[in-house]
Every structure is written in structure tokens, then in C-alpha cells.
Amino acid sequence: MELFKPIPAAAGTNQEFSMPSILTCDDCGKQSLAALVHLNGSTCPFCGGLFRMPARARIAMLADADTFIETDETLTSTDPLKFPKYSEKLKKAKADSGLTDAIVTGTCAIEGYPAALAVMDSYFMMGSMGAVVGEKICDLAEIALAKRLPLIIVSASGGARMQEGMISLLQMTRTTMAVNKLGDAGLLYVSVLTHPTTGGVTASFAMQGDVILAEPKALIGFAGPRVITQTVNEELPDAFQKAEYLYQQGMIDGIVKRGELKAALAQILALHADNREASHDQ
Ligand SMILES: [Zn+2]
């Protein structure tokens, strides 16, 4: 069964996207023009609150200018289960996000350090993981392995893509195994969790980083708070499943402001590069 295919070259990836033109800040409730918000690092111009960041804007923020070389840029889902209304949803998500699926992958330099970089986009079907997202992560991990590059994945996901059923769940195993191989080869994997990172993505590669960072106030969890409350029949702490709570509990290694993420990643890449040189010298 064919799960994905390259789209015809003429269709290409569409850099322009038709997102909502007005966005409302979760933190201060004020409205801003989306174009202004995304020019400003997808942050609220009034209070600095974080909006979801489009993948290409995130890549522009993290990768050194003109260094990003995209991989698998034309892969798109074939709607393998012919799930009702999925093909219409895919069409709309492509128009809304300017992407062919919910992740952009490639290689780049970050403050001069070479890296493999994957960025999920929650404007594409809430960043859900189907066969294309799984395949692109596995391919990128293979590239990182072959070129001995550190891997960075910036996650933003509602979880598995239900329209791809079991095929979508399979991607949890595939991506888990793919990033594990990097660890076996002594290569660094840094996972960056952004709002929201939930479901099958949290239950696979997103929590497997050697270093796991998160953006402030990001919701990170498997099932949502309502499902958990009903299951365990207990009141949950206030900030339950927020990045700050997970940090306190030792589940993640650090919380990094969006504007400081590139410098933080560069520092981790530098430390790892130094260590590798030191261990080669011995
Ligand atoms: Zn605000």
C-alpha cells in the first residue's frame, strides 16, 4: 500500500499561507494582526505571550541565513484508508499552512554548528503525526546518522493523526527506533517541546531527547487533563502538564524563552562538539 508520494513538482510548496488574519492572545486577551505577530517571533506585541509558530518562521529563527537545505519537501499523504473527508482536510491544511504536511525537515547550521533540524507545524492539522511526518523524521534521522550530525526536533502536535488509523500509530514505533539509533551511534538528539505537544508524539520521539527543552507555558502531556481527572478521579494540580510543572518534576531539562532558543541550542551543540573532540583525542 502506498502511504505517501511526492507531489508534482509544478505544485511545489507554497510559501504564502492563508492563516487567520487576526489572532487573540491567550495571555492578555488582546487581538493583533497575524502578520505583525509572526514578524515579531509569533509573540504578542502587547504582553510577549507566545503564539503557535509556523515551521518556516521557526526555521528562519533557528538556522543561520541560507544554510537550511530541506529534505523530503514534496512528500504528501495518499489518504491510505480513504478516510471520510480526510482529502478535503488535507487540501485545506496545505492551503492554510503552505506546507505538504505537518513537519519540515532538513539540514542547516546553527551559529556555525551543523545540525539536522525538524520542525513541526501545528497550523497543519494540529501538527498530527501520520505516515508523512513519521517518514520525514525517520529519513532525517538516517541523514543525521550517515553525516554524523546532531538532531534537533521542535515538536508541536495534537498527537497521532486519526484519519490514518493504525498507520499513524505505527509512526510512534518507527520514530522511536529512528532516534534511538542516534543514541547508539553516540550522536546528540535535542528535543524542543512547544505548545502544545501531546498524544502520540509525547509518547514517542518528543520525550526521548538526550536534552529536552520546552518553551514557557507549553502544554505537554499524553492525554488531556479532563480525561485524566475522569480516569483517576482526583483533582489535578493547577499548572498540571505545563512546561514549568514538568520542569519542577524533573521530566524536562530546561525552559527556554523563544528569543533565546537559538543561543541555547548553539551552546548545547558547542558543548557536544567539544566533548566529541575530547573523546577522540584520548
Ligand atoms: Zn498578549
Q: Are residues 31 and 102 in the same domain?
A: no
Give the side-chain half-sphere CA count within 13 A for 134.
24
Please report the pLDDT score of residue 204 as a whole number.
96
Q: Are residues 30 and 159 in the same domain?
A: no
Quick check: is 258 in a domain? Answer: yes
Quick check: is 125 in a domain? Answer: yes
Quick check: is 246 in a domain? Answer: yes
Q: Are residues 211 and 108 in the same domain?
A: yes
Q: Are residues 31 and 59 in the same domain?
A: no
From 6, 33, 51, the end of a domain falls on: 51
Ligand 1 centroid vs 253 CA: distance in angstroms? 26
Q: Are residues 64 and 40 in the same domain?
A: no
Quick check: is 5 in a domain? Answer: no
> pLDDT tens per residue, the chain (282 residues)?
788 787 654 443 444 445 668 999 999 999 999 888 988 899 999 999 999 999 999 999 999 999 999 999 999 999 999 999 999 999 999 998 899 999 999 999 999 999 999 999 999 999 999 999 999 999 999 999 999 999 999 999 999 999 999 999 999 999 999 999 999 999 999 999 999 999 999 999 999 999 999 999 999 999 888 889 999 998 888 888 999 999 999 999 999 999 999 999 999 999 998 776 776 665
Quick check: is 218 in a domain? Answer: yes
Task: Give the cell for residue 197.
Answer: 505537544
The owner of cell 507555558 is 217
What's the predicted TM-score (pTM) here? Answer: 0.91
Quick check: is 97 in a domain? Answer: yes
Residue 109's nearest CA partner among 155, 54, 53, 147 is: 147
Give the chain's domain count: 2
Please report the pLDDT score of residue 9 as a whole number.
47
Q: Determine contact, residues 117/152, Cβ cutoff 8 Å.
A: yes
Q: Which residue range forms the structural domain that includes residue 265? A: 53-281
Ligand 1 centroid vs 220 CA: distance in angstroms? 21
Q: Which residues surround ligand 1, an ion (CB under 5 A)?
A: 25, 27-28, 44, 46-47, 49
Quick check: is 199 in a domain? Answer: yes
Ligand 1 centroid vs 37 CA: distance in angstroms? 10
| 105 membership: H or E segment, kind and range | strand 103-110
Ligand 1 centroid vs 50 CA: distance in angstroms? 8
- Give the tens place of pLDDT for each residue, 130-153: 999 999 999 999 999 999 999 999
Ligand 1 centroid vs 9 CA: distance in angstroms? 40
Q: Are residues 40 and 138 in the same domain?
A: no
Q: Are residues 232 and 264 in the same domain?
A: yes
Q: Are residues 154 and 31 in the same domain?
A: no
The owner of cell 538556522 is 63
Tell me the torsion sign for CA atoms 140, 123, 12, 63: negative
Residue 32's nearest CA partner among 55, 41, 61 is: 41
- Give the tens place of pLDDT for each residue, 173-197: 999 999 999 999 999 999 999 999 9
Q: Are residues 43 and 85 in the same domain?
A: no
* Residue 60, number of CB atoms within 10 A of its CB: 12
Please report the pLDDT score of residue 281 as a whole number.
61
- Give the tens place of pLDDT for each residue, 212-225: 999 999 999 998 88
Ligand 1 centroid vs 96 CA: distance in angstroms? 23
